[in-house]
Amino acid sequence: MSIKNLLPGRLGFGTAPLGNMFRAIPDEEAAATVQAAWDHGIRYFDTAPFYGAGLSEIRLGEVLSGKPRDAYVLSTKVGRVILDEAEDPAARDLGEKGGLFEHGRPNKMVNDYTADATLRSVEDSLKRLRTDRLDIVWVHDVAQDFYGDEWLARYETARTGAFRVLDRLRDEGVIKGWGLGVNRVEPLEVTLDLDEPRPDAFLLAGRYTLLDHERALQRLLPAAAAQNVDIVVGGPYSSGILAGGTHFEYQQAPAEIVAKVERIKELAARHGVGIKAAALQFSLAHPATAAVIPGATRPSRVAEDVAALNETVPAAFWSALREEGLIAGNAPLPA
């Protein structure tokens, strides 16, 4: 199934921040932010058990369970099973993403990409989300940033486990589509080379942004477009640095990234362009991109995202970025 046909618009809502990423968010603020997304017409919501050990799913489910189920598209992820027993969230080994959800629930998370774990994960997510079905399921984080040298072994488990289960669930009509949800291009390139099973789309976070897109342009995006595997772009603000924050790649941004963002901001100011508009519209300009899903924890941020998507960005701004070497020469630009 074409994800472009399934998704109700080009702007979705990413709910990693609702899992208390970086900070503890009051329940009321989380609920108000989801409601704001709904009120602004957003109808695609993405979550994962990983986000706060189930917290994001629970918070999203509390709001969406009051909406007509046919009115929105919902995706979550598999690869981690959440247990009832507790652990210290700050002590988890999250590879390069250490401490990311230390303010989340203390429930123990187990990494498991087998067939049985995939089915259990789906069942658990349905309960936390208070719904009877999922539209899209992503296989989460089966990549180097979490598993280092072990990533290919994890990937092989997922290929013979999660991939085949999700392929079957799609063929049976239980879900509408599946793919991988990762922060690296390599697992997606490997998957496109497989004869089977065949994913419908990928969720790629942080790798097709204003700040980081050259690697994805080399092979992944042309191959995905050729095989009609659509890309949902996660993290279009590169963990916040492109939206006024200080994080890049989920950590404090290094000096060279801060400097690059300042140069982009200077050009944006000169052309009267909002930095969020530049970020979202750049990510959406590639023909392989189906949607962007920025995250938010405040209702006002959702309004900013909607405005950014609709802002008119002059062609001269994109030309200036290209002339300054701030975006790749082969990156498709917004029309």
Name the residues annotated as catalytic: 46, 51, 77
CA distance 311 to 313: 6
Q: Three-state SS for 305?
A: helix
Place of tokens 């329940």: 27
- Give the chain's length: 335
Phi, psi of 322 (to 5 degrees): -70, -45
CA distance 170 to 88: 36
Tell me if 284 sits within 8 A of 277, measured CB to CB: no
Q: Which residues of 145-163 are buried (b: 16+ CB within 10 A; e: fewer)?
A: bbbeeebeebbebbbebbb
Tell me if 106 sits within 8 A of 88, measured CB to CB: yes
Bridge partners (DSSP) listed for residue 81: 110
CA distance 38 to 330: 36
CA distance 221 to 217: 6
Residue 211 per-residue DSSP state: S
Place of tokens 């994805």: 216
Tell me if 110 sits within 8 A of 83, measured CB to CB: yes
287 prior amide bond cis, ω within 30: no
Alpha helices in 205-314 (DSSP H): 214-215, 221-226, 255-270, 275-284, 299-310
CA distance 49 to 318: 38
CA distance 208 to 225: 14
